[in-house]
Chains A and B, each alone.
Chain A
């Protein structure tokens, strides 16, 4: 199984690569359009600012890649800002940036005295979550100042409904989403020790 990690100049990708390799997958870090389209799984990483990440994503035609993959039912995993950009927009200090728009919702600053939200926090996963099976009661490593605190996706037809996992820091916010082939986590599974490895294995098993 080949997993592509989308490389658009964003921070530490090595940890994600090694953590995924631990699950037995073959992992490449690449921005190659065709490889990203055809890989068994695509990981969209991201650290830093929403606007800067979107700029990098646009330069590698990430919106196109994600759309085409999802149309074909091929799994995509967004991590941290890689999750935030899947929403409609990001609001940083009053500046709005359009996201990839897979889900409705605006990414806004958390209301907390100390930011970033940095460290190991608990999560509330829905009972039928496949992603969190076996790690529902574990802590995961978060590093972010912005998040989405609403979930407004209108479910259509007979598609299974999205599974939304929440966490709380100042606000209650979306910590993970499982929505058909599109999965995302606000925390960093690749830095979340054994719990994160377990979660990544849960994901790669679905590929």
Chain B
């Protein structure tokens, strides 16, 4: 027995509400991120990730409130990303009840933000979110993008991951902008390249469409597998993913152990 491969549902939250439609169970309020986090916890999620896409920074209080209410009711790790610009944002999220904070654009603008946060709170609180996309015409050359893939930075994604590990990030959330939304499987080429340079845990994100998609991503070296719409739309459950992984010999945490 050893460390379990993690399965993580990701919820997009805007102004305190879950953005994409969710229609798999009879929920009291399918738009309430707290309610959704509870459902996923009950399904055996190993962590919950909230991506805050609230446009207006004036609405950040709503986000802290959602984090507080989630931490009050869900006793598995909670990662919150989106709109984190400064050390003080991290502090507020941790105090509200987040365990990890994901940063993306702000770290690209100022890489030293990574060391500042890690020095203050430890690297284990800091997840670097990387939105990577193949350069035009290339099969295996990835660059970092921002703004949901709309803006190319020109920066090499694998070099960025390597640098971020040196600067003190605690985990990498690697989102394939090519695979995202396609439901054709995780980007294994990207994953393998990232694994080769990453000294910290690696979360694969983007492209999960079937139960079988999770196995090659695990084989490619992902420590955790993140998905959104397949869970939200009830295509399959977190438990089914774990059973599929377990059948292929991967260690997972199954939560029906009499508790």
Q: Within residues 160 to 203 of chain A, which ones have a CB less than 8 A from any CB in chain B?
A: 168-169, 190-198
A193 to B139, CA, bound (A): 42
**Cβ B4 vs Cβ A121 within 8 A:** yes
Q: Within residues 1 to 25 of chain B, which ones have a CB less than 8 A from any CB in chain A?
A: 1-4, 6
Identify the closest chain B residue to A12 (Cβ): B94
A194 to B44, CA, bound (A): 11
Contacts A14-B95, A190-B75 hold; do A119 and B223 have CB atoms under 8 A apart? yes
Contacts A117-B3, A118-B170, A141-B77 hold; do A12 and B122 have CB atoms under 8 A apart? no
**Cβ B71 vs Cβ A14 within 8 A:** yes
Pick the interface stretch among A35-43, A69-77, A108-116, A151-159.
A108-116
**Cβ A191 vs Cβ B3 within 8 A:** no
| A31 close to chain B: CB less than 8 A | no
Identify the closest chain A residue to B259 (Cβ): A194
B225 CB to nearest chain A CB (Å): 12
| B171 close to chain A: CB less than 8 A | yes
Size band of the interface chain A makes with B: 35 or more
The main secondary structure of chain A at its interface with chain B is mixed
Question: When the two chains form the complex, which single residue of B6, B41, B120, B170 contacts A116, counting CB atoms closer than 8 Å?
Answer: B170
**Cβ B97 vs Cβ A12 within 8 A:** yes
**Cβ A144 vs Cβ B124 within 8 A:** yes
**Cβ B170 vs Cβ A196 within 8 A:** no
Set of chain A residues within 8 Å of B124, measured between Cβ atoms: 47-48, 116, 118, 143-145
| B99 close to chain A: CB less than 8 A | yes
A135 to B255, CA, bound (A): 12
A119 to B224, CA, bound (A): 9
Q: Within residues 75 to 121 of chain A, which ones have a CB less than 8 A from any CB in chain B?
A: 113-121
A132 to B119, CA, bound (A): 34
A12 CB to nearest chain B CB (Å): 5
A12 to B96, CA, bound (A): 7
Cβ contacts B85-104/A at 8 Å (1 or 0 each): 00000000011111100000
A27 to B220, CA, bound (A): 44
Contacts A12-B99, A19-B75, A138-B257 hold; do A114 and B223 have CB atoms under 8 A apart? yes
**Cβ A114 vs Cβ B259 within 8 A:** no
| A122 close to chain B: CB less than 8 A | yes
Question: When the two chains form the complex, which single residue of B75, B96, B98, B123 contacts A193, counting CB atoms closer than 8 Å?
Answer: B75
Contacts A48-B121, A144-B124 hold; do A15 and B257 have CB atoms under 8 A apart? no
**Cβ B76 vs Cβ A141 within 8 A:** yes
**Cβ A119 vs Cβ B121 within 8 A:** no
**Cβ B122 vs Cβ A114 within 8 A:** no
| A58 close to chain B: CB less than 8 A | no
| B46 close to chain A: CB less than 8 A | yes
| B158 close to chain A: CB less than 8 A | no
A113 to B201, CA, bound (A): 10
Set of chain A residues within 8 Å of B119, measured between Cβ atoms: 49
Question: When the two chains form the complex, which single residue of A47, A135, A137, A192 contacts B75, counting CB atoms closer than 8 Å?
Answer: A192
Interface residues of B (CB under 8 A from A): 1-4, 6, 41, 46, 68, 71-73, 75-77, 94-99, 119-125, 170-171, 198-202, 223-224, 253, 255, 257, 259
Interface residues of A (CB under 8 A from B): 11-15, 18-19, 22, 47-49, 52, 113-122, 135, 137-139, 141-145, 168-169, 190-198
Beyond contacts A12-B99, A15-B97, A118-B223: 17 other A-B pairs, Cβ-Cβ < 8 A, are: A12-B98, A14-B71, A14-B72, A19-B75, A47-B122, A49-B119, A49-B122, A117-B3, A118-B124, A119-B223, A122-B1, A135-B259, A139-B4, A145-B124, A169-B3, A191-B75, A194-B75
What are 8 sample pairs from A and B whose C-beta atoms fall under 8 A apart?
A: A12-B98, A14-B72, A47-B121, A47-B122, A116-B124, A138-B257, A138-B259, A141-B77
